[in-house]
A and B are shown apart, each in its own frame.
Chain A
Amino acid sequence: MSYGTEKLSEEKVFKDPIHNYIHVRDRVIWDVIGTREFQRLRRIRQLGTTYLVFHGAEHSRFQHSLGVYEIVRRIVDDVFAGRPEWDASERLVTLCAALLHDVGHGPFSHAFENVFDLDHEQFTREIILGPTEVNDVLSRVSSNFPKQVAEVIEKTYPNKLVISLVSSQIDADRMDYLQRDSFYTGVSYGHFDMERILRVMRPTEDEVVIKTSGMHAVEDYIMSRYQMYWQVYFHPTSRSAEVILTKALHRAKQLYEEGYPFEWVPESLRAFFEDRVTVEDYVALDESVLVTAFHMWQQEADPILSDLSDRFLNRRLFQYIDFNPATEYVRFGELERLFREAGLDPDYYLVALSSSDLPYDLYRPGEENERVPIQLIQPDGNKIELSKASDIVQSISGKRRTSHKLYFPEDVLRAGKEEHPLYERILNKLGSGT
């Protein structure tokens, strides 16, 4: 028996609140889970700073990755098994890609990537192809196998059906994270009938399609995406925490580049400050390292770095107000000037944030858009795009809904307004003067 087909002597299971059990029989899958790069995902939260608003949202990318694997395993072992459109020899590469699709995520993914201009997809590829334990395991299947897994994740694999299971508008990734994020945040919006969707999924030559009879279950899934975005993912307070995290990292980077004499620089961050990050550096970093850095930086002499670190750790978040750039962009410039005159660096303490800074994973049906739409397959075999068949989906697909907010340290302005007359003027200009 080859390594790629080797089964464990008995099935292993992970208890999971979303899927009840996650089942592992394949030796390769078990060995990938045991690698240091995959175990590191236990120390990367799935929702970044959202736990500062929804305190239950402490779940990790480790859990999510196992969840995506489990959904794909059920599809290929149960739903697709025996169907002529499905090539069973693609099973292992599909399962490995599902398990590893997020392995390149860094700590507090979005904020960290922005500050250090990194791309988690690039690191996913490098972890799979580079000198890592993950690569050691995959290479034991065949010398070409790591490359195949990487191609599925970067969407260049020749079999488009395999790609669509891991990455499409109705894929295992979204089906897991919607349910998992909903469960851990405690909101009710993310629920949909995944069992029904799995029952009505059908493989075709280059994509997964849904039987028309399953349309209402898919409607529910699309609505879940819509509601989770506005209620959880783009929650303005959670964005405030992300603003502070981003600004703290920016400040640390700027100080490092200017030769500031840090009391303490975490060795794991040095390569990031110096823009010479290797896979080894990347894998060495996780959220516990960053949180430790913020603890230490609270004691730094630089008042901005210590303040922002303290704010992040102790949840002293920025206040926010709605902001309409169409009529208020001139006022924004005036505010920047006032902040500067008042001794508050607007680069760190006055932030305009728009919904496009964390784009909504909107269902877009086609036209000149770039995404493969969800197709329903009718009893006569013809396909129809989801929004053409569903009034509910049509009503929310491709519709604009935007949001712009200004973030600022209202606590500082209020506490210091007696001492600093400009603070009062700033508060009045922000409409927070009373």
Chain B
Amino acid sequence: MLRDHAKLVQFIAVAGQIDGRKKLQKMIYIAKKSGYPFQEKYGLHMYGPYSEELTCRIEELCELGFVEETVHDKGSYVQYCYAPTEEGLHFAETIVPESFIEPTFVEALTSQRSRFLELVSTLLYFDRLNRKEQVEKVRVVKNKLNFTDEEFTEAFRFIDSLVQ
């Protein structure tokens, strides 16, 4: 479905560049939970909500030359960064001419670290529960990350700001 590809290119274009696969995964998930029409299905994985469909679609966009992937050596790990190409921008404008992403929304996500987005997206994954139960779930599935009470408070404040 080309529209699903084009929407991703448009999202990355609004962000300018997205640093890190994990960050990209969490940004799209949070956007989806905030009502943006992304179709990628998510499940709970190692770093919170993760979509194999999204991973495959980004791979396709790179292979088609619509998104450029650059690899940065960060010492103990490598980071993958994504930016649209000129052809990708033309593709997105052709397939999805209307702008459906609010730039301030994307900016709010890009300015956060991926650890924080991981916390926010994992809380959102359990948003059928009350906040106390959400925290308990995150403490079980993310027991090695030791999120502090302050981080939880900040994450809920961030979620509330997205809803507004």
Q: Which residues of A contact B (CB under 8 A)?
A: 113-114, 119, 121, 154-158, 324-326, 329-330, 332-333, 351-357, 359-362, 364, 367-372, 400, 402, 404
Contact (Cβ within 8 A) A370 B91: no
Closest Cβ neighbor of B49 among chain A residues: A370
Give the docked Cα–Cα distance between A324 and B5 (Å).
13
Contacts of B25 in A (CB 8 A): 370
26 of the cross-chain contacts (CB-CB < 8 Å) are A154-B44, A156-B137, A156-B141, A324-B64, A325-B2, A326-B66, A329-B95, A332-B2, A333-B94, A354-B57, A355-B56, A355-B60, A356-B5, A356-B53, A356-B57, A356-B59, A357-B53, A359-B56, A361-B52, A362-B52, A368-B79, A370-B25, A371-B45, A371-B46, A402-B63, A404-B60
Contact (Cβ within 8 A) A370 B1: no
Q: Mark B59-87, 1 if CB is under 8 A from A, else 0.
A: 11011111000000000011110000001
Give the docked Cα–Cα distance between A28 and B29 (Å).
38
Secondary structure of the A side of the interface? loop
Contacts of A372 in B (CB 8 A): 46
For residue B50, CB closer than 8 A to chain A, the reply is yes
Other than the known A114-B39, A329-B91, what 11 A-B pairs have Cβ atoms closer than 8 Å? A119-B41, A154-B44, A155-B43, A155-B45, A325-B91, A326-B65, A352-B2, A354-B5, A356-B56, A368-B22, A400-B63
Distance between A207 CB and nearest chain B CB, rounded to angstroms: 11
Secondary structure of the B side of the interface? helix
Contact (Cβ within 8 A) B1 A359: no
Closest Cβ neighbor of A330 among chain B residues: B94
For residue B21, CB closer than 8 A to chain A, the reply is yes
Distance between A406 CB and nearest chain B CB, rounded to angstroms: 10
Distance between A386 CB and nearest chain B CB, rounded to angstroms: 16
Contacts of A400 in B (CB 8 A): 59, 62-63
Contact (Cβ within 8 A) A370 B46: yes
Q: Which residues of B contact A (CB under 8 A)?
A: 1-2, 4-5, 20-22, 25, 39, 41, 43-47, 50, 52-53, 55-57, 59-60, 62-66, 77-80, 87, 91, 94-95, 137, 140-141
Contact (Cβ within 8 A) B2 A368: no
Give the docked Cα–Cα distance between A121 and B43 (Å).
9
Contact (Cβ within 8 A) B1 A352: yes
Closest Cβ neighbor of A119 among chain B residues: B41
Give the docked Cα–Cα distance between A96 and B123 (Å).
27
Contacts of B91 in A (CB 8 A): 325, 329
Give the docked Cα–Cα distance between A195 and B98 (Å).
55
Contact (Cβ within 8 A) B52 A367: no
Q: Which of A324, A357, A402 contacts B1 (CB 8 A)?
A: A357
The 4 closest A-B pairs by CB, nearest first: A356-B56, A370-B45, A370-B50, A356-B57
- Using known A-B contacts A332-B2, A356-B56, determine if residue A158 contacts B46 with beta carbons closer than 8 Å: no
Distance between A217 CB and nearest chain B CB, rounded to angstroms: 25
Contact (Cβ within 8 A) A370 B22: yes
Contacts of A351 in B (CB 8 A): 1
Contacts of A360 in B (CB 8 A): 52, 56
Contacts of B47 in A (CB 8 A): 370
Give the docked Cα–Cα distance between A360 and B46 (Å).
18
Contacts of A155 in B (CB 8 A): 43-45, 141
Contacts of B65 in A (CB 8 A): 326
Contacts of B60 in A (CB 8 A): 354-356, 402, 404
Contacts of A332 in B (CB 8 A): 2
Contacts of A364 in B (CB 8 A): 55
Contact (Cβ within 8 A) B20 A368: yes
Distance between B126 CB and nearest chain A CB, rounded to angstroms: 8
Distance between A345 CB and nearest chain B CB, rounded to angstroms: 16
